[in-house]
Amino acid sequence: MKVPFNKVYQTGAEDAYVLEAIHSGLQCGNHQFCERVIDLMKQRYGFQQVYLVPSGTAALEMGAVLAGIEPGDEVILPSYTFSSTVNSVVLFGAKPVFCEVDPKTLNIDVTKIEALITPKTKMIVPIDYAGLSCDIDAVMDIANRHHLIVMQDCAQSYGTRYKGRPAGTVPHLATFSFHETKNFSAGEGGALICNVPEWELRAHFLQEKGTDRRLVLNGMKNKYSWVDKGSSYLLSDVLAAMLLAQLEHEDEIRGKRGQITAMYDRLFEPYFEKGVIDIMRPTKDDELNNHAYWAVFDTTENRQRFMDECRKSEIYVYIGYMPLHSAPYGLKFGYKPEDLPITESIGWRVARLPYYTAMADGCLDYVYENMSKVLKSIYGF
Protein backbone atom coordinates (compact mmCIF):
# COMPACT_ATOMS: atom_id res chain seq x y z
CA MET A 1 0.00 0.00 0.00
CA LYS A 2 1.29 3.46 -0.88
CA VAL A 3 0.69 6.24 1.62
CA PRO A 4 1.71 9.61 0.17
CA PHE A 5 2.25 12.63 2.37
CA ASN A 6 -0.87 14.32 1.05
CA LYS A 7 -3.74 13.53 -1.28
CA VAL A 8 -6.61 15.71 -2.46
CA TYR A 9 -10.04 14.77 -1.13
CA GLN A 10 -13.20 15.07 -3.18
CA THR A 11 -16.61 15.13 -1.50
CA GLY A 12 -18.49 14.39 -4.72
CA ALA A 13 -20.38 17.67 -4.61
CA GLU A 14 -17.67 19.65 -6.42
CA ASP A 15 -18.57 18.57 -9.97
CA ALA A 16 -22.07 19.98 -10.10
CA TYR A 17 -21.10 23.29 -8.48
CA VAL A 18 -18.09 23.79 -10.75
CA LEU A 19 -20.16 23.10 -13.87
CA GLU A 20 -22.79 25.51 -12.66
CA ALA A 21 -20.14 28.19 -12.14
CA ILE A 22 -18.65 27.57 -15.59
CA HIS A 23 -22.01 27.90 -17.30
CA SER A 24 -23.29 30.80 -15.20
CA GLY A 25 -21.58 33.29 -17.51
CA LEU A 26 -19.93 34.96 -14.50
CA GLN A 27 -16.58 33.42 -13.69
CA CYS A 28 -14.51 36.20 -12.17
CA GLY A 29 -14.30 37.08 -8.50
CA ASN A 30 -17.05 38.00 -6.04
CA HIS A 31 -19.95 36.41 -7.89
CA GLN A 32 -22.54 33.84 -6.79
CA PHE A 33 -20.26 31.15 -5.41
CA CYS A 34 -17.87 33.58 -3.77
CA GLU A 35 -20.83 35.18 -2.04
CA ARG A 36 -22.11 31.80 -0.87
CA VAL A 37 -18.70 30.86 0.54
CA ILE A 38 -18.40 34.22 2.31
CA ASP A 39 -21.90 33.85 3.80
CA LEU A 40 -21.13 30.32 4.97
CA MET A 41 -17.87 31.39 6.60
CA LYS A 42 -19.49 34.36 8.33
CA GLN A 43 -22.45 32.35 9.57
CA ARG A 44 -20.40 29.45 10.81
CA TYR A 45 -17.59 31.35 12.49
CA GLY A 46 -18.74 34.94 12.87
CA PHE A 47 -15.94 36.62 10.91
CA GLN A 48 -16.50 40.37 10.41
CA GLN A 49 -15.26 40.73 6.84
CA VAL A 50 -14.17 37.97 4.47
CA TYR A 51 -12.27 38.53 1.21
CA LEU A 52 -11.71 35.50 -1.03
CA VAL A 53 -8.30 35.69 -2.65
CA PRO A 54 -6.18 33.53 -4.99
CA SER A 55 -4.07 31.92 -2.23
CA GLY A 56 -3.05 32.03 1.41
CA THR A 57 0.03 33.87 0.17
CA ALA A 58 -2.11 36.54 -1.53
CA ALA A 59 -4.16 36.89 1.67
CA LEU A 60 -0.98 37.63 3.64
CA GLU A 61 0.15 40.16 1.03
CA MET A 62 -3.20 41.93 0.91
CA GLY A 63 -3.17 41.97 4.71
CA ALA A 64 0.29 43.51 4.76
CA VAL A 65 -0.85 46.30 2.41
CA LEU A 66 -4.00 46.85 4.47
CA ALA A 67 -1.87 47.07 7.62
CA GLY A 68 0.19 49.77 5.89
CA ILE A 69 3.50 47.90 5.91
CA GLU A 70 6.22 50.15 4.47
CA PRO A 71 10.00 50.21 4.09
CA GLY A 72 11.60 50.73 7.49
CA ASP A 73 8.90 48.88 9.42
CA GLU A 74 9.77 45.88 11.55
CA VAL A 75 7.51 42.84 11.76
CA ILE A 76 7.86 40.15 14.45
CA LEU A 77 7.14 36.59 13.38
CA PRO A 78 8.36 33.07 14.13
CA SER A 79 11.31 31.74 12.15
CA TYR A 80 9.56 28.40 12.13
CA THR A 81 7.02 29.07 9.35
CA PHE A 82 6.48 28.97 5.59
CA SER A 83 8.25 31.47 3.31
CA SER A 84 4.94 33.16 2.44
CA THR A 85 4.49 34.46 5.98
CA VAL A 86 7.73 36.41 5.87
CA ASN A 87 7.63 37.30 2.16
CA SER A 88 4.32 39.10 2.63
CA VAL A 89 6.07 41.81 4.65
CA VAL A 90 9.51 41.64 3.01
CA LEU A 91 7.87 42.36 -0.37
CA PHE A 92 6.73 45.74 0.96
CA GLY A 93 10.12 46.63 2.41
CA ALA A 94 9.72 45.58 6.04
CA LYS A 95 12.47 43.97 8.07
CA PRO A 96 11.57 40.56 9.51
CA VAL A 97 12.36 40.15 13.21
CA PHE A 98 12.34 36.46 14.00
CA CYS A 99 11.08 35.13 17.31
CA GLU A 100 11.69 31.73 18.91
CA VAL A 101 8.99 29.08 19.12
CA ASP A 102 7.63 27.30 22.17
CA PRO A 103 8.84 23.68 21.88
CA LYS A 104 5.50 22.46 23.26
CA THR A 105 3.48 23.92 20.38
CA LEU A 106 6.03 24.96 17.72
CA ASN A 107 4.15 28.29 17.70
CA ILE A 108 5.61 31.69 18.54
CA ASP A 109 6.91 31.88 22.12
CA VAL A 110 4.81 34.73 23.49
CA THR A 111 7.21 35.28 26.41
CA LYS A 112 9.92 36.33 23.95
CA ILE A 113 7.98 38.81 21.81
CA GLU A 114 8.18 41.91 23.97
CA ALA A 115 12.01 41.97 24.03
CA LEU A 116 11.96 42.25 20.21
CA ILE A 117 9.74 45.34 20.05
CA THR A 118 11.40 48.61 18.96
CA PRO A 119 9.96 51.99 17.92
CA LYS A 120 9.93 50.63 14.34
CA THR A 121 7.79 47.58 15.10
CA LYS A 122 4.44 47.75 13.32
CA MET A 123 3.00 44.25 13.30
CA ILE A 124 3.19 40.76 14.78
CA VAL A 125 2.43 37.77 12.53
CA PRO A 126 2.01 34.55 14.54
CA ILE A 127 1.00 31.31 12.86
CA ASP A 128 -1.07 28.31 13.99
CA TYR A 129 1.26 25.45 13.17
CA ALA A 130 -0.42 22.17 12.23
CA GLY A 131 -3.78 23.76 13.06
CA LEU A 132 -3.01 24.29 16.75
CA SER A 133 -3.73 27.89 17.73
CA CYS A 134 -0.97 30.13 18.96
CA ASP A 135 -1.66 31.90 22.27
CA ILE A 136 -3.51 34.64 20.43
CA ASP A 137 -4.79 36.27 23.64
CA ALA A 138 -1.25 36.84 24.87
CA VAL A 139 -0.22 38.17 21.44
CA MET A 140 -3.18 40.59 21.38
CA ASP A 141 -2.39 41.76 24.89
CA ILE A 142 1.18 42.63 23.90
CA ALA A 143 0.02 44.24 20.65
CA ASN A 144 -2.59 46.38 22.39
CA ARG A 145 -0.12 47.64 24.95
CA HIS A 146 2.34 48.63 22.20
CA HIS A 147 -0.22 49.74 19.58
CA LEU A 148 0.76 47.06 17.08
CA ILE A 149 -1.29 45.29 14.44
CA VAL A 150 -1.70 41.51 14.59
CA MET A 151 -2.13 39.44 11.45
CA GLN A 152 -2.59 35.77 12.35
CA ASP A 153 -1.47 33.31 9.67
CA CYS A 154 -4.28 30.77 10.03
CA ALA A 155 -3.37 29.00 6.76
CA GLN A 156 -3.51 25.68 8.63
CA SER A 157 -6.19 26.41 11.23
CA TYR A 158 -9.53 26.90 9.47
CA GLY A 159 -12.09 25.54 11.94
CA THR A 160 -9.80 25.50 14.99
CA ARG A 161 -11.03 27.12 18.19
CA TYR A 162 -8.98 28.53 21.04
CA LYS A 163 -10.74 29.13 24.36
CA GLY A 164 -13.97 28.65 22.45
CA ARG A 165 -13.30 31.32 19.81
CA PRO A 166 -12.76 30.36 16.16
CA ALA A 167 -9.33 30.93 14.62
CA GLY A 168 -9.32 34.22 12.78
CA THR A 169 -11.93 36.05 14.88
CA VAL A 170 -9.61 37.59 17.46
CA PRO A 171 -6.77 39.52 15.68
CA HIS A 172 -7.06 42.59 13.44
CA LEU A 173 -6.31 40.47 10.37
CA ALA A 174 -6.19 36.74 9.72
CA THR A 175 -5.48 34.64 6.66
CA PHE A 176 -6.63 31.22 5.52
CA SER A 177 -5.32 28.96 2.77
CA PHE A 178 -7.44 26.70 0.60
CA HIS A 179 -4.45 25.15 -1.15
CA GLU A 180 -4.85 21.47 -1.99
CA THR A 181 -2.61 20.50 0.95
CA LYS A 182 -4.96 22.12 3.47
CA ASN A 183 -8.18 20.67 4.98
CA PHE A 184 -10.44 22.33 2.41
CA SER A 185 -9.21 22.81 -1.13
CA ALA A 186 -10.02 25.12 -3.99
CA GLY A 187 -6.86 23.86 -5.69
CA GLU A 188 -5.36 27.25 -5.00
CA GLY A 189 -7.26 29.74 -2.88
CA GLY A 190 -7.33 31.72 0.32
CA ALA A 191 -9.20 34.25 2.41
CA LEU A 192 -8.33 37.42 4.25
CA ILE A 193 -10.35 38.08 7.39
CA CYS A 194 -10.52 41.68 8.55
CA ASN A 195 -11.98 42.40 11.97
CA VAL A 196 -11.43 46.18 11.89
CA PRO A 197 -14.66 47.83 10.66
CA GLU A 198 -12.89 51.04 9.51
CA TRP A 199 -10.70 49.08 7.07
CA GLU A 200 -13.57 47.54 5.13
CA LEU A 201 -13.89 49.95 2.20
CA ARG A 202 -10.13 50.17 1.69
CA ALA A 203 -9.89 46.37 1.69
CA HIS A 204 -12.33 46.30 -1.23
CA PHE A 205 -10.23 48.88 -3.07
CA LEU A 206 -7.03 46.87 -2.55
CA GLN A 207 -8.71 43.68 -3.72
CA GLU A 208 -10.05 45.38 -6.87
CA LYS A 209 -6.74 46.67 -8.28
CA GLY A 210 -6.85 49.90 -6.31
CA THR A 211 -10.19 51.00 -7.77
CA ASP A 212 -13.48 51.92 -6.12
CA ARG A 213 -15.40 49.41 -8.23
CA ARG A 214 -17.16 48.30 -5.03
CA LEU A 215 -18.95 51.65 -4.90
CA VAL A 216 -20.19 51.07 -8.45
CA LEU A 217 -21.39 47.56 -7.55
CA ASN A 218 -23.16 49.06 -4.52
CA GLY A 219 -24.86 51.61 -6.76
CA MET A 220 -23.11 54.53 -5.08
CA LYS A 221 -21.19 55.63 -8.19
CA ASN A 222 -21.64 55.00 -11.89
CA LYS A 223 -18.02 54.91 -12.98
CA TYR A 224 -15.07 53.61 -11.05
CA SER A 225 -11.64 55.21 -10.71
CA TRP A 226 -8.15 54.49 -9.47
CA VAL A 227 -8.21 55.55 -5.81
CA ASP A 228 -5.47 53.59 -4.03
CA LYS A 229 -2.71 51.08 -4.51
CA GLY A 230 -3.86 47.51 -4.93
CA SER A 231 -3.68 44.34 -6.95
CA SER A 232 -5.94 41.59 -8.25
CA TYR A 233 -6.62 39.78 -4.98
CA LEU A 234 -9.64 37.89 -6.29
CA LEU A 235 -10.62 34.20 -6.34
CA SER A 236 -12.38 33.00 -9.49
CA ASP A 237 -16.01 32.00 -8.96
CA VAL A 238 -15.20 28.60 -10.54
CA LEU A 239 -12.74 27.86 -7.74
CA ALA A 240 -15.12 29.26 -5.15
CA ALA A 241 -17.67 26.70 -6.41
CA MET A 242 -15.23 23.91 -5.63
CA LEU A 243 -14.48 25.42 -2.23
CA LEU A 244 -18.17 25.72 -1.37
CA ALA A 245 -18.63 21.98 -1.89
CA GLN A 246 -15.72 21.31 0.46
CA LEU A 247 -16.83 23.72 3.17
CA GLU A 248 -20.37 22.31 3.09
CA HIS A 249 -18.79 18.97 4.08
CA GLU A 250 -16.65 20.41 6.85
CA ASP A 251 -17.94 18.11 9.61
CA GLU A 252 -17.45 14.97 7.51
CA ILE A 253 -13.91 16.00 6.58
CA ARG A 254 -12.98 16.98 10.12
CA GLY A 255 -14.42 13.74 11.49
CA LYS A 256 -12.37 11.58 9.15
CA ARG A 257 -9.22 13.52 9.88
CA GLY A 258 -9.80 13.20 13.62
CA GLN A 259 -9.26 9.44 13.27
CA ILE A 260 -5.78 10.13 11.90
CA THR A 261 -4.84 12.30 14.88
CA ALA A 262 -6.15 9.62 17.25
CA MET A 263 -4.09 6.95 15.50
CA TYR A 264 -0.88 8.98 15.71
CA ASP A 265 -1.53 9.84 19.36
CA ARG A 266 -1.84 6.12 20.13
CA LEU A 267 1.31 5.35 18.14
CA PHE A 268 3.57 8.00 19.68
CA GLU A 269 2.21 8.03 23.25
CA PRO A 270 4.77 5.50 24.65
CA TYR A 271 7.67 7.41 23.10
CA PHE A 272 6.36 10.70 24.38
CA GLU A 273 5.99 9.16 27.87
CA LYS A 274 9.62 8.03 27.78
CA GLY A 275 10.72 11.49 26.63
CA VAL A 276 12.30 10.53 23.29
CA ILE A 277 9.70 12.01 20.92
CA ASP A 278 7.71 15.21 21.37
CA ILE A 279 4.23 15.44 19.87
CA MET A 280 1.37 17.94 19.69
CA ARG A 281 -0.21 18.40 23.07
CA PRO A 282 -3.51 20.27 22.78
CA THR A 283 -4.76 21.59 26.13
CA LYS A 284 -8.34 22.10 27.33
CA ASP A 285 -8.24 25.49 25.57
CA ASP A 286 -7.72 23.87 22.17
CA GLU A 287 -10.30 22.49 19.80
CA LEU A 288 -8.34 21.16 16.84
CA ASN A 289 -9.37 21.24 13.18
CA ASN A 290 -7.27 18.09 12.57
CA HIS A 291 -4.97 19.59 10.00
CA ALA A 292 -1.67 17.79 10.50
CA TYR A 293 0.56 15.90 12.90
CA TRP A 294 4.19 16.44 13.83
CA ALA A 295 6.74 14.58 15.90
CA VAL A 296 10.03 16.02 17.14
CA PHE A 297 12.61 13.26 17.44
CA ASP A 298 15.42 13.19 20.01
CA THR A 299 18.07 13.34 17.27
CA THR A 300 18.33 14.22 13.56
CA GLU A 301 19.70 10.71 12.93
CA ASN A 302 16.64 9.04 14.44
CA ARG A 303 14.35 11.27 12.39
CA GLN A 304 16.27 10.25 9.27
CA ARG A 305 16.07 6.56 10.16
CA PHE A 306 12.35 6.89 10.77
CA MET A 307 11.78 8.58 7.39
CA ASP A 308 14.00 6.10 5.52
CA GLU A 309 12.44 3.02 7.12
CA CYS A 310 8.86 4.27 6.57
CA ARG A 311 9.69 4.88 2.94
CA LYS A 312 10.54 1.19 2.54
CA SER A 313 6.86 0.49 3.25
CA GLU A 314 5.92 3.32 0.85
CA ILE A 315 4.85 5.59 3.69
CA TYR A 316 6.06 9.10 2.97
CA VAL A 317 7.13 11.10 6.01
CA TYR A 318 8.69 14.52 5.48
CA ILE A 319 10.75 17.00 7.43
CA GLY A 320 8.98 20.10 8.77
CA TYR A 321 9.97 23.66 7.98
CA MET A 322 13.62 24.56 7.80
CA PRO A 323 13.91 27.73 9.95
CA LEU A 324 13.75 30.96 7.94
CA HIS A 325 16.39 32.90 9.89
CA SER A 326 19.10 30.41 8.85
CA ALA A 327 17.78 29.90 5.29
CA PRO A 328 19.83 31.48 2.48
CA TYR A 329 17.59 34.55 2.29
CA GLY A 330 17.30 34.80 6.09
CA LEU A 331 21.08 35.04 6.40
CA LYS A 332 20.96 38.12 4.13
CA PHE A 333 19.06 39.93 6.88
CA GLY A 334 22.07 39.39 9.15
CA TYR A 335 20.88 36.34 11.02
CA LYS A 336 23.10 33.49 12.17
CA PRO A 337 21.75 30.00 12.88
CA GLU A 338 22.66 30.28 16.58
CA ASP A 339 20.53 33.41 17.02
CA LEU A 340 17.47 31.17 17.53
CA PRO A 341 18.85 27.96 19.01
CA ILE A 342 15.51 26.37 19.92
CA THR A 343 14.02 26.87 16.47
CA GLU A 344 17.24 25.70 14.85
CA SER A 345 17.37 22.54 16.93
CA ILE A 346 13.72 21.68 16.30
CA GLY A 347 14.09 22.31 12.56
CA TRP A 348 16.63 19.49 12.38
CA ARG A 349 14.49 17.03 14.33
CA VAL A 350 10.85 17.60 13.37
CA ALA A 351 8.95 15.23 11.08
CA ARG A 352 5.56 15.78 9.46
CA LEU A 353 3.48 12.63 9.18
CA PRO A 354 1.30 11.65 6.21
CA TYR A 355 -2.06 13.29 6.79
CA TYR A 356 -4.97 13.47 4.35
CA THR A 357 -8.71 12.94 4.64
CA ALA A 358 -8.92 9.68 2.67
CA MET A 359 -6.38 8.03 5.01
CA ALA A 360 -9.34 7.34 7.29
CA ASP A 361 -10.79 5.06 4.58
CA GLY A 362 -8.46 2.09 5.00
CA CYS A 363 -4.87 3.27 5.59
CA LEU A 364 -4.77 3.77 9.33
CA ASP A 365 -3.99 0.20 10.40
CA TYR A 366 -1.30 -0.13 7.75
CA VAL A 367 0.40 3.07 8.86
CA TYR A 368 0.11 2.17 12.55
CA GLU A 369 1.52 -1.34 12.12
CA ASN A 370 4.45 -0.26 9.98
CA MET A 371 5.38 2.80 11.98
CA SER A 372 5.18 0.79 15.23
CA LYS A 373 7.73 -1.64 13.85
CA VAL A 374 10.03 1.18 12.76
CA LEU A 375 9.83 2.93 16.13
CA LYS A 376 10.54 -0.35 17.96
CA SER A 377 13.56 -0.97 15.78
CA ILE A 378 14.92 2.51 16.54
CA TYR A 379 14.22 2.74 20.27
CA GLY A 380 14.08 -0.92 21.24
CA PHE A 381 10.66 -0.76 22.96
Q: How far is the CB of 366 from ligand PLP (least distance, A)?
A: 27
320 part of the interface to ligand PLP, by CB under 6 A:
no
- Binding footprint of ligand PLP, residue count (CB under 6 A): 14
Q: How far is the CB of 184 from ligand PLP (least distance, A)?
A: 11
Nearer to ligand PLP, 175 or 326 (CB): 175
Q: How far is the CB of 338 from ligand PLP (least distance, A)?
A: 24
**Distance of alpha carbon 118 from alpha carbon 3, whole angstroms:** 47
Q: How far is the CB of 262 from ligand PLP (least distance, A)?
A: 23
Is 376 within 8 Å of 370 (Cβ atoms)? no
Handedness of CA 83, 189, 153, 67 (dihedral sign): positive
156 part of the interface to ligand PLP, by CB under 6 A:
yes
Q: How far is the CB of 350 from ligand PLP (least distance, A)?
A: 14
**Using CB under 6 A, which of the segments 15-23, 98-106, 140-148, 151-159 binds ligand PLP?**
151-159
Handedness of CA 217, 221, 222, 223 (dihedral sign): negative
Among the listed residues 29, 56, 126, 168, the single contact to ligand PLP using CB under 6 A: 56
**Using CB under 6 A, which of the segments 41-49, 76-84, 334-342, 354-362 binds ligand PLP?**
76-84
352 part of the interface to ligand PLP, by CB under 6 A:
no
Q: How far is the CB of 220 from ligand PLP (least distance, A)?
A: 32
Q: How far is the CB of 158 from ligand PLP (least distance, A)?
A: 11
In SS3 terms, the chain reads as: CCECCCCCCCCCCHHHHHHHHHHCCCCCCCCHHHHHHHHHHHHHHCCCEEEEECCHHHHHHHHHHHCCCCCCCEEEEECCCCHHHHHHHHCCCCEEEEECECCCCCCECHHHCHHHCCCCEEEECCECHHHCCCCHHHHHHHHHHHCCEEEEECCCCCCCEECCEECCCCCCEEEEECCCCCCCCCCCCEEEEECCHHHHHHHHHHHECCECHHHHHCCCCCCCCECCCCCECCCCHHHHHHHHHHHCCHHHHHHHHHHHHHHHHHHHHHHHHCCCEEECCCCCCEECCCCCCEEEECCHHHHHHHHHHHHHCCECCEECCCCCCCCHHHHCCCCCHHHCHHHHHHHCCEEECCCCHHHHCCCHHHHHHHHHHHHHHHHCC
153 part of the interface to ligand PLP, by CB under 6 A:
yes
Q: How far is the CB of 130 from ligand PLP (least distance, A)?
A: 9
**Distance of alpha carbon 172 from alpha carbon 67, whole angstroms:** 9
Scanning residues 162 to 221, which ones bind ligand PLP (CB under 6 A)?
A: 177, 179, 190
List 344's β-bridge partners, or say none: none
84 part of the interface to ligand PLP, by CB under 6 A:
yes
**Using CB under 6 A, which of the segments 55-63, 140-148, 164-172, 373-381 binds ligand PLP?**
55-63
Among the listed residues 6, 30, 79, 85, the single contact to ligand PLP using CB under 6 A: 85
81 part of the interface to ligand PLP, by CB under 6 A:
yes
105 part of the interface to ligand PLP, by CB under 6 A:
no
**Using CB under 6 A, which of the segments 37-45, 152-160, 163-171, 351-359 binds ligand PLP?**
152-160
157 part of the interface to ligand PLP, by CB under 6 A:
no
107 part of the interface to ligand PLP, by CB under 6 A:
no
57 part of the interface to ligand PLP, by CB under 6 A:
yes
Main-chain phi, psi angles of 81, to 5 degrees: -160, 180
Nearer to ligand PLP, 140 or 167 (CB): 167
- Nearest residue (beta carbon) to ligand PLP: 56
Residues near ligand PLP, by CB under 6 A: 55-57, 81-82, 84-85, 127, 153, 155-156, 177, 179, 190
